[in-house]
Amino acid sequence: MYPDPTQYPSKPLIEPTQAAHFNPYEHTSPYYGPLPPIPPPPPTHKSHKGLIITLVSIICLLIASLVGALYVAIHSTAQQSPQTAIATTPRIASKTAMPTSIVTQPASTLTAPIVTPAVKPLFSDNFQNNASGWNLTGSPGQYSVTVSGGQMVLEDDHNKLLWEILPGQTFADFRLDVDAKLTKGDHNNGYGVFIRGIASQGVDIGLYYRFELYGDGTFAVFKGSLDANGNTTSTQITDYTANAAIQKEGTTNHITVIAKGISTQFLVNGVSVYTYTDSAYKGGEIALFVSNLPNLAPVAQASFTHLAVFPAS
């Protein structure tokens, strides 16, 4: 659509007499005198598009340079002063309230030949059935004990320690051999044996020595005693100690305990990992156990096979 001509001012009309003599190419006029000089053409407006692009490019380069310099400075500082990791709850805190670190023992050999005594054992069980008279009492959803098919399986499902006492016998000096492994639950759960256990305050085993392996390849030794009020208290004799001889969760460990007089030697897969000297308890019960530690998922299961107790040599 074109604009309406009436919207623009009309040009002045030239008289006919003037038009006959008017030469637009001359610089003078007989009627008006000298004509003013022809104004120069208006300046050409150049496009600023190229300039804008150039300025934007320069700004982008400056920003990129600043970002790169900042990254280099931060990266360099991080390399010179590494950040300290935020500590979470220690893994071993579930094993004890004491903040004890794990000690790693050197081991010249991972395993050693296991030679059991040639003498008749004081007690033995291949766990094919319950001929020995184990206490198989259980509570659904809390704990269970089964003996069949060549193994005893202990399971605790409510963050407690479940023991199974060798039925009807006590032992003073002896050698114990048993194969055991953690078969279910968190690898921080434990399993092992009580020795020289003595009842107290209505508890079947209140005084004792306890050798505990964990699914992470560590072990610890504990002593049970009575406090001033006659209640059982557990004292940790060793740090949680890693030893290359100890197999982790799901793999069988051969446990040997040799108790003779005031000395007790603890071996795993034929390798001696600790010897404890104490004269407090000279005899008592033996028990196998699994321990579902506090603050862990509520399930821990361990299996035991080839149990034998020999006279101390």
Q: How do beta strands 218-226 and 232-236 pair?
A: antiparallel
**Residue 126: band (very low, low, confident or very high) from pLDDT cuts 50, 70, 90:** very high
pTM (2 decimals)? 0.68
Number of domains in the chain: 1
Res. 311: pLDDT tops 60? yes
As a whole number, mean pLDDT of residues 138-156 equals 97
% of the chain residues with pLDDT over 90: 61
Range of the domain at 113: 95-311
Instruction: Please give the mean pLDDT across all residues of the chain.
Output: 79
- pLDDT tens for residues 60-75? 666 766 655 554 444 4
Determine the length of the chain: 313
Res. 85: pLDDT tops 50? no
What's the confidence (pLDDT) of residue 92?
30
- C-alpha of 17 from chain center: 109
Res. 10: pLDDT tops 60? no
Res. 306: pLDDT tops 90? yes
The residue behind tokens 């862990």 is 296
- Position 49 in a domain: no
What's the confidence (pLDDT) of residue 138?
96
- pLDDT tens for residues 219-265? 999 999 999 998 999 999 999 999 999 999 999 999 999 999 999 99
Q: In Å, what is the CA distance from 82 to each residue of 76, 78, 79, 114?
A: 10, 5, 6, 48
Domain CATH number, residue 294: 2.60.120.560
3-state secondary structure 190-225: EEEEEEEEEEECCEEEEEEEEEEEECCCEEEEEEEE
- Position 121 in a domain: yes
The one-character DSSP state at 91 is G
- Position 136 in a domain: yes
- Position 210 in a domain: yes
- Position 265 in a domain: yes
Q: Return the structure tokens found at 185.
A: 């639950």
The one-character DSSP state at 162 is E
> Which residues sit opposite 225 in a β-bridge?
233
- Position 147 in a domain: yes
Backbone angles phi, psi at 76, to 5 degrees: -65, -40
- Position 84 in a domain: no
**Residue 26: band (very low, low, confident or very high) from pLDDT cuts 50, 70, 90:** very low
| Contact status, residue 257 vs residue 211, Cβ threshold 8 Å | yes
Res. 98: pLDDT tops 60? no
- Out of 6-10, 109-113, 271-275, least confident range: 6-10
Q: How do beta strands 241-243 and 103-105 pair?
A: parallel
What's the confidence (pLDDT) of residue 18?
41
% of the chain residues with pLDDT over 70: 67
- Position 223 in a domain: yes
